[in-house]
Amino acid sequence: SQQGEEDPQALSIQEGENATMNCSYKTSINNLQWYRQNSGRGLVHLILIRSNEREKHSGRLRVTLDTSKKSSSLLITASRAADTASYFCATAPLGSARQLTFGSGTQLTVLP
């Protein structure tokens, strides 16, 4: 079963706009991670946020985590055409040592 579920499944925006993707999960976690996948390629790690953190930044990326609601969001500011990709959240559940459970992803299209 999928631990994380992303919303929306697909998102299309204009270059320069901000993109927000959401992730909900079911069980308590150790950390939550976001990955990016370009078409036909492997996944690339973007950012990791621990369960005791509420917000984290990396360049144009901002991730928030609300453990009370079991949800996270990924914000990409000032998007570029090169940001077009699928974005996945992945959770490291408590008690499931060294495993990550992935959601089904959000397909982001940034139009030039």
Partner 1 sequence: NAGVTQTPKFRVLKTGQSMTLLCAQDMNHEYMYWYRQDPGMGLRLIHYSVGEGTTAKGEVPDGYNVSRLKKQNFLLGLESAAPSQTSVYFCASSPMTSGRAWNTGELFFGEGSRLTVL
Please report, as ranges, the residues that interact with partner 1 according to CB under 8 A.
1-2, 4, 30-31, 33, 35, 40-45, 48, 88, 90, 92, 94-95, 97-105
Q: How far apart are CA 98 and CA 31, in angstroms?
A: 11
Q: CB of residue 65 vs partner 1: minimum separation in angstroms?
A: 15
Structural contact between residues 29 and 23, judged by C-beta atoms closer than 8 angstroms: no
19 or 92: whose CB is closer to partner 1? 92
* Whole-Å CA distances, 88 to 33, 43, 74, 112: 8, 9, 10, 23
Q: CB of residue 85 vs partner 1: minimum separation in angstroms?
A: 13
Q: How far apart are CA 10 and CA 87, in angstroms?
A: 10
44 or 78: whose CB is closer to partner 1? 44
* Whole-Å CA distances, 80 to 42, 49, 60, 98: 20, 24, 11, 34
Q: CB of residue 81 vs partner 1: minimum separation in angstroms?
A: 22
Q: CB of residue 13 vs partner 1: minimum separation in angstroms?
A: 22
